[in-house]
Amino acid sequence: MPDKIEDLEIQLLLEALFQHYHYDFRHYARASIKRRLVQARDQLGFASISALQDRVLHDPDMLPRLLGYLTVQVSEMFRDPSYFRALREKVLPHLRTYPSLKVWIAGCSAGEELYSLAILLREEGLYERTLFYATDINPDALSAAEAGLYPLDRIRKFTENHQKSGGKSSLSDYYTAAYGRAVFDKSLRDRVVFSDHSLVTDAVFAEMHLISCRNVMIYFDRALQDRAIGLFRESLTRKGFLGLGSKESLRFSRHATGFADFVPEEKIYQRREP
């Protein structure tokens, strides 16, 4: 099929998803969206992207399946351990001075990053004064995050990352193994609000001391990245922290002057007043 027609079909499908379901992928990096839609078309057995569009418009059960293709759910507990070490050693000493804390994990996927932060704050004695917001647009990911179950074969890597991040306890203190899965302790989510929230279409909802948003904006185009960073700036308290992780940066954002570098290697920033 000529590329031009396929591009048009993609544009129409993204528009349909937005108009009908309010999921807005129109400004995600197009090459990656195209790859994912072609994969969805082939694996779900449609002859064309238009046929896939027809189905998703008329059959709401197709929506979560398509979202599974359009959103990337790769994650790990304590992923990029040096990021968590930097939070522990450099950011938490500042956060410790507040009587209560709010932490937002934006694009939390199946909860790996949330549980990592919950364990980190528990190890540092800050969990009880913290309220966590774990948000994502993928409903299946949010349900998985709420359940806190991971296949046991992922635990070795999680444990290794936790140790490298400077973990002060044993990861096995926080889960029990049952039927090939690790079931994370309920007490790690009794201070967590799980919520459907899109960085593309939704607004700020609370004042945060720390926002962690890693491996999410890499899928956005420049304008969307700017929108998300604007939201983060608006949402942070005075001198609040934003962690983007090593793959993302504020360097080219029009909000760059609203932040100061805090741990440059880990792309951890602190809100700065103009």
Ligand X SMILES: C[S@@+](CC[C@H](N)C(=O)[O-])C[C@H]1O[C@@H](n2cnc3c(N)ncnc32)[C@H](O)[C@@H]1O
Closest approach of ligand X to the CB of residue 210, in Å: 14
Question: Which residues have C-beta within 8 Å of that of residue 141, sequence separation ≥ 6?
Answer: 71, 73, 108, 109, 110
Residue from the set 82, 159, 195, 198 that interacts with ligand X by CB under 6 A: 198
Point out which span in 83-91, 101-109, 161-169, 174-182 binds ligand X (CB under 6 A). Answer: 101-109
Which residue, 86 or 199, has its beta carbon nearer to ligand X? Answer: 199
Residue from the set 91, 117, 216, 244 that interacts with ligand X by CB under 6 A: 216
Residue from the set 52, 87, 200, 263 that interacts with ligand X by CB under 6 A: 200
Q: Is 226 in the site for ligand X (CB under 6 A)?
A: no
Q: Is 123 in the site for ligand X (CB under 6 A)?
A: no
Point out which span in 90-98, 169-177, 192-200, 203-211 binds ligand X (CB under 6 A). Answer: 192-200
Q: Is 81 in the site for ligand X (CB under 6 A)?
A: no
Q: Is 223 in the site for ligand X (CB under 6 A)?
A: no
Q: Give the residue nearest to ligand X (CB).
A: 107
Residue numbers 126-165 binding ligand X by CB under 6 A: 136-138, 141
Residues that bind ligand X (CB under 6 A): 71-75, 79, 106-107, 109, 112-113, 136-138, 141, 198-200, 214-216
